[in-house]
Amino acid sequence: MKTITTDFEYLPATTVEEALDMLSQHKDDDYKIIAGGQSLCTAMKHRLIAPEYLIDIKGLTDLDYIKFDEKEGLKIGALATHRSLEKSQIVREKYSVLCEMEENVASVETRNWGTVVGDLCNADPAVDPAPPLIVLDAKLKIQSKGEERTVAAEEFALDFFETTVQEGEMVTEIQIPVIPPNTGVYFTKYSQMLGDYALGSVAVLITLDKKKEVCANARIGLAGVDSAPVRAKKAEEVLKGKKITEALLAEAAEVVKTEINPVSGIEGSEDYKRELAGTLLKRVGKVALERAQKA
């Protein structure tokens, strides 16, 4: 049986360039990046992982920002905390669904220290920010020494605790485009108590036509009901080009059950998670429609 040691070399970075240099130098080593450390420290404490190097980016103040531009949309730096997103006035005005989501993430203490990007990079299948970011068509900027690329939020997580980030890379920013007119967005998660781990969650974005009668666009994101957060494209097609009714949402809910691949666990069976996803879709879709009609 392999013995897991808690010994590691601590490498604090003070600039993005310095952090990327460290990642380049240690990309073939067993390392982890730490920012808020809410998930990483717990895993290390229980000796689930034992990296040789810990690259600390908490000091990168140039990545601690939330910016909005009328043309480019919202940009969230990798060091922005859950709490700063929750309390941001510009986010509440332009992307209220993100503030609503944050109010139900763990505890205030966790939100004060944990970062949104770090939460996404941990790649828990039930991660709270993923569904709203998927429906908002967000992208994540990933950098390495001398290179940069962007990945759609719906393609970022690949499997249980696995993302598209490669060795020597780190996520530096979340980019969210401006929300179109006549659009409503809503997100909810089902958990045993406020702030608890999501048994399942759904976000829905609905954009209506100019007369606010027909669905011009729809996006559906889910978490906790598959091995990674997912976008339900087939269910979206059920809604597009039609007048949305409760019956149509029920039809989309049946389709979404076929698009997910839940895994049975102590928190619920595969069948239970399918039913949960469908039920949440109907509820969330109804509120998103109401918001679109008022937008």
DSSP symbols for 14-32: SSHHHHHHHHHHTTTS-EE
The secondary element (H helix, E strand) that includes residue 187 is: strand 183-190
To the nearest 10 degrees (0 to 180), the angle between helices 270-294 and 246-259 is 140
Fold of 61-176: 3.30.465
- Tell me the three state secondary structure of residue 285: helix
Domain ranges, ordered by start, for the chain: 9-56, 61-176, 183-294
d(CA 254, CA 198): 21
Q: What is the pLDDT, as a whole number, of residue 4?
A: 47
Cβ atoms within 10 Å, residue 149: 13
Dihedral of the alpha carbons of 222, 228, 230, 234, in degrees to the nearest 10: -110
Contacts of 183 (CB under 8 A, 6+ apart): 205, 206, 207, 208, 291, 292, 295
Nearest to 230 by CA among 266, 185, 262: 262
Q: Would you give per-residue pLDDT tens digits along the chain (295 residues)?
A: 344 456 899 999 999 999 999 999 999 999 999 999 999 999 999 899 999 999 999 999 999 999 999 999 999 999 999 999 999 999 999 999 999 999 999 999 999 999 999 999 999 999 999 999 999 999 999 999 999 999 999 999 999 999 999 999 999 999 999 999 999 999 999 998 888 989 999 999 999 999 999 999 999 999 999 999 999 999 999 999 999 999 999 999 999 999 999 999 988 999 999 999 999 999 999 999 999 999 9
Fold of 9-56: 3.30.43
Q: In this structure, what is the dihedral angle of CA atoms 113, 13, 145, 177, given to the nearest 10 degrees?
A: 30
Q: Phi first, then psi: what are they for 139, rounded to 5°? A: -130, 150
Closest Cα partner for 139 from 97, 95, 76?
A: 76
Task: Please say whether the dihedral angle defined by the alpha carbons of residues 51, 143, 145 and 18, taken in this order, is positive or negative.
Answer: negative
For 272, residues 6+ apart whose C-beta sits below 8 A from its C-beta are: none
Fill in the DSSP letter of residue 274: H
Q: What would the two tokens of residue 170 be?
A: 């780190």
> Around Cβ 181, how many Cβ atoms within 10 Å?
11
As a dihedral over the C-alpha atoms of residue 128, residue 132, residue 137, residue 139, rounded to 10 degrees, the angle is: -30
Question: Given this model, what pLDDT does residue 195 score?
Answer: 83
pLDDT score at 6: 61
Range 183-294: architecture per CATH: 2-Layer Sandwich (3.30)
Strand bridging mode 9-12 / 53-56: parallel
